[in-house]
Structure 1
Amino acid sequence: MMLHVMSQDNGKIDAAQAELFADDYLEEPYWWSAAPLPPAHENTEPASLGGRADVVIIGSGITGLVAALHLARAGCDIAVVDAQRIGEGAARRNAGFVGRTLKRSVEWLAERSGREYAVKVYRELDAALRGVRAFVERERIDCHYQTCGRFIAANSKAHFRALITELEQTRQAVGFDYSVVEKDEVRTEIASDIYHGGAVIPDLGSIHPGLYHAGLVRKALEAGVRLYPLTNVVGVDHSAREKIVRTSRGNIAAPHVIVATNGYTSRDLKWLARRVIPFRGFVVATELLPTETIDKMIPRRRTYLDTRMNIDFIRPAPDSSRILFGGMTGTASPTATPLAGALRDRLVKILPDLRGVRLSRAWTGQCAGTFDFMPHIGVKDGVLFALGYNFAGIPLGTHFGEKLAARILQRGDMSSAFDVEKFPTAPFFNGSPWFVPLAMRYFDWHDDRIARG
């Protein structure tokens, strides 16, 4: 029995909560069951970093490892450093949705930056989506990639009208297909009566993020990439010919440096830390369920989310009979266990037939937004970066990793619609996301206002 009786004060379980948790409950990502983190000594170089490399990559997530793999295969000596264990960050914590999600619509971008730019952005998002599948197939990474489609559920009549308007504008601009689901048809997609219709986007996908990242680690090591976990970067110094990356395990020199830390960007990297807003996402996984229960709850076994800014999202586990649910994004809690009951309540409100279901996992991880709600790739003082994915980490992480490698190698398609000169920040922001809970409450108020018309 893995259930421990603990107190909420230290992020553990109180005895009174025992009915909430399955016997095998753990506060760790569900994905780690199939893709456990290797002990640090199994994927690290000697204690002292030292020396030099052709490229130093800060961050061992999807972006960093995809870039490392391409560069190493081109003959570069690559050192990847990470403040945590390899795979401990968002790469093995996210929900595994693979889409072309952006918080700015085609029309919003067209009104402010021109239609040509808006179309270019969404074309690149589509290329990133398709690139994940092509990459997985090319590398033969067994990670349950599926083109399952996505159902977007409308939280009100007004949300439904806005959703269909936006999807139709996108279809007319770039040709992305969708189908309308009226209110009386919702149960063909999800066993819920709280939504006011929705839409299906048929070509979006899902993946097992743990196995995807584990596959990237394996490929990178085979290509000769050096991995340095538990290595904090405290600064990057510049000289005429190369950079010096200063770390907790010594300094390492390289002509090229990539920062790919997203929600885990250290304040020691001051310029970048002032431009990404870290916030926590929370996910729970149910206990094992009968297959027929999942078939009833989510008969098409798609990925599911709603139309609010502060979304709830649902998906089936790809490798066991469980349902995964995420929500309460941006809540100021360092651990997930204290929120597990509230998360289950939200899940049961959507799927009332799951009343009484117990949870086997709950976890949290750092995401990152930006002040303009746009991802960014670029260069600052000779240091390349890709940050601020705004919930599009798997497709854009894979895509940007390839772009960063191409820019260092100076070959292939190096251009990107997300490579813009302006990467905004806010006055007095130093990387501390103290305002995120307030922003989430504002988004909730804004969504309620839309729902009321």
Structure 2
Amino acid sequence: MKGQSIFWDRDLPEPALHGAAPLPDRVDVAVVGGGFTGLSAALHLARGGRSVAVLEAGRIGAGASSRNGGMVGPSFHKLGSAGLLARYGETKTLALMREGLHALDHFEALIRDEGIQCDLQMRGRFRGARTLADRESMARECDWLHRNLGLESRMVDAADQRDEIGSDTYRGGVVYLRDGGVHPRKLVLELARLADAAGAVVVPGCPVTALRHDGPDVTLATPRGSLRAGEVVLATNGYADRRSAAMARRVVPIETFVVATEELSPERMAELTPRGRMFGETGRVFMWYRPTPDGRRFIFGGRLARAGAGPEACKAAFAPSVARVFPQLDGVRFDHAWSGQIAYTPDHSPHLGMVDGVWLAGGYCGSGVTRSVYLGMKLARRILGQPGAETALDDLPFDKVPFSPFSRQGAALLTRWYAWQDARDLRRAAAAEG
């Protein structure tokens, strides 16, 4: 998106790093991609005694790590308990969902123990039910999560939802108490600082143009020269292309869009979010939204604009949905609009492991803040041969995407189909409830 203005960039200078010039001739591990996954892996590899180079095509965190909404939580599987039970059975389902809790535990501990300054605010998330049927389904899911995983949540009746959100559009909803938010740009810069301090060579503006297996090593070609590495980690996720083909063949990149409002009065902010919650809603194509960490604006995100939309088209696409939830914001000015690419997988699950002779971690399906930091650490442990490297994801095959060259077009068509289905379901629900 040309001309985009990313809210998270405000007042944050680029980090001062000790990036080598020229590149080292050889390192133990080369990490391709300087986002959450790559920097997390580099940090733990460097502390484990490996020589590491992180090669980032743009600035540090140029991809989704600086463009997301910064919402954190257990990030349970996209299929939900019912979908997982049907596909994998009870034992595997519980293991996969517990992995989300482990990821959140690791994330919170890392922020605390490393003193990472990223505006972590664990104030919970309210998810609104668009229909009564949605609310009933959410209640069943929350009951299952509590009974089987001990996850605390609280159902909210429509009559009481004004205590959570300044809106009457939903038929109630649920508060997930272990959710919260961070400033994602601050987080990725802090990870870069820690990796740099641990001895990793972090090199922005250094795209990898080719990978070639050369005996026991892999040679990485870049505009700054070639680099040999004993191991390679591809952490390109939704920005993978032919240069990181092992990842690109296994994920579907999907463009998502975000807008940030102008500054709002403290009274208006308190009306919109009385408890400072994060927010989401039911639906196949839904909108997520949240207050900024400083409590002065609201950010709204989702797949609401057409692929390739510019800033003004993006703002126009969000305006009706923002007014649907918050009529009091009808006509509000959006000061910032941007887009980014997330990565979906055929089985709706993230993956990690070795594929085609390189290490991969990615496919977070839009819930990657905690997962990426966690799986970067797990991948490093696996490379180092350390205990605690195993995950419940290890035996899930990281399959190639069928008809991969056409996956972007297919995803765009599917999004439009889902949006039509959502509109149809809302009409039917309104008729039934009316």
In which range does the TM-score fall when normalised by the shorter chain? over 0.9
Deviation of residue 193 (structure 1)? 1.6
Supply the AA of the counterpart residue of 2:245.
Answer: K
Aligned to 1:73: 47
CA deviation profile, 1:198-253 (whole Å, cap 9, x unmatched): 10111112111111111111112222211222222233222442222233332211
Give the 3-state SS of the residue equivalent to 1:283 in structure 2. Answer: strand
Deviation of residue 356 (structure 1)? 3.0
Supply the AA of the counterpart residue of 2:244.
Answer: L
**For residues 18 and 422 of structure 2, what CA distance do their matches in structure 1 show?**
45
Q: Name the CA shift for 1:112/1:320 in 2 (closer, same or farther; >3 Å).
A: closer
Aligned to 2:432: none
Give the 3-state SS of the residue equivalent to 2:211 in structure 1. Answer: strand
**For residues 296 and 283 of structure 1, what CA distance do their matches in structure 2 show?**
22
Deviation of residue 426 (structure 1)? 3.7
**For residues 350 and 196 of structure 1, what CA distance do their matches in structure 2 show?**
12
Supply the AA of the counterpart residue of 2:91.
Answer: E
Asked if structure 2 preserves the Cα contact closer than 8 Å seen for 1:69 and 1:225, the reply is yes
**Residue 31 (1) aligns with residue 5 (2):** no
Asked if structure 2 preserves the Cα contact closer than 8 Å seen for 1:277 and 1:369, the reply is yes
Asked if structure 1 preserves the Cα contact closer than 8 Å seen for 2:255 and 2:340, the reply is yes
Asked if structure 2 preserves the Cα contact closer than 8 Å seen for 1:54 and 1:76, the reply is yes
Asked if structure 2 preserves the Cα contact closer than 8 Å seen for 1:11 and 1:337, the reply is no
1:164 is matched with which residue: 112, 136, 139?
139
Aligned to 1:211: 186
Deviation of residue 163 (structure 1)? 1.7
2:277 is matched with which residue: 292, 295, 302?
302
Q: Name the CA shift for 1:266/1:36 in 2 (closer, same or farther; >3 Å).
A: farther
**Residue 85 (1) aligns with residue 59 (2):** yes
Note the 1:56-205 alignment, pairs <5 A. 56-101=30-75, 102-205=77-180
Supply the AA of the counterpart residue of 2:56.
Answer: D
Supply the AA of the counterpart residue of 1:33.
Answer: R
Give the 3-state SS of the residue equivalent to 2:293 in structure 1. Answer: coil
Aligned to 2:360: 385
Aligned to 1:257: 232
**For residues 431 and 52 of structure 1, what CA distance do their matches in structure 2 show?**
37
Deviation of residue 113 (structure 1)? 1.1
CA deviation profile, 1:77-127 (whole Å, cap 9, x unmatched): 110011111122111111000012331112211221121111001111011
**For residues 283 and 35 of structure 1, what CA distance do their matches in structure 2 show?**
19
Aligned to 1:447: 422
**Residue 327 (1) aligns with residue 278 (2):** no
Asked if structure 2 preserves the Cα contact closer than 8 Å seen for 1:267 and 1:430, the reply is no
Give the 3-state SS of the residue equivalent to 2:337 in structure 1. Answer: strand
Point out where structure 1 has 5 or more consecutive residues left out of the alignment: 1-9, 13-26
Asked if structure 1 preserves the Cα contact closer than 8 Å seen for 2:94 and 2:148, the reply is yes
RMSD value over aligned CA atoms? 2.0
CA deviation profile, 1:334-392 (whole Å, cap 9, x unmatched): 53332112213321221111223212211111111111111111111331110110122
TM-score between both structures, scaled by the size of structure 2 = 0.93
Asked if structure 1 preserves the Cα contact closer than 8 Å seen for 2:127 and 2:281, the reply is yes
Q: Name the CA shift for 1:135/1:443 in 2 (closer, same or farther; >3 Å).
A: same
Deviation of residue 171 (structure 1)? 2.2
**For residues 50 and 431 of structure 1, what CA distance do their matches in structure 2 show?**
38
**For residues 45 and 227 of structure 1, what CA distance do their matches in structure 2 show?**
8
Aligned to 1:413: 388
**For residues 386 and 152 of structure 1, what CA distance do their matches in structure 2 show?**
28
Q: Name the CA shift for 1:432/1:84 in 2 (closer, same or farther; >3 Å).
A: farther
**For residues 143 and 209 of structure 2, what CA distance do their matches in structure 1 show?**
47
Q: Name the CA shift for 1:334/1:80 in 2 (closer, same or farther; >3 Å).
A: farther
Give the 3-state SS of the residue equivalent to 1:72 in structure 2. Answer: helix
Note the 1:427-442 alignment, pairs <5 A. 427-430=402-405, 433-442=408-417
Supply the AA of the counterpart residue of 1:61.
Answer: G
CA deviation profile, 1:17-57 (whole Å, cap 9, x unmatched): xxxxxxxxxx3211111434459xx66432x5361101100
Point out where structure 2 has 5 or more consecutive residues left out of the alignment: 430-434
**For residues 375 and 383 of structure 1, what CA distance do their matches in structure 2 show?**
17
Deviation of residue 266 (structure 1)? 1.6
**Residue 53 (1) aligns with residue 27 (2):** yes
Asked if structure 2 preserves the Cα contact closer than 8 Å seen for 1:29 and 1:361, the reply is yes
Give the 3-state SS of the residue equivalent to 1:146 in structure 2. Answer: coil
Larger mean Cα displacement after TM superposition, 440-449 or 406-415: 440-449
Supply the AA of the counterpart residue of 2:361.
Answer: A
1:280 is matched with which residue: 241, 255, 259?
255
Supply the AA of the counterpart residue of 1:403.
Answer: K
Deviation of residue 260 (structure 1)? 0.8
Give the 3-state SS of the residue equivalent to 2:379 in structure 1. Answer: helix
Q: Name the CA shift for 1:329/1:121 in 2 (closer, same or farther; >3 Å).
A: farther
Supply the AA of the counterpart residue of 1:92.
Answer: S
**For residues 243 and 144 of structure 2, what CA distance do their matches in structure 1 show?**
42
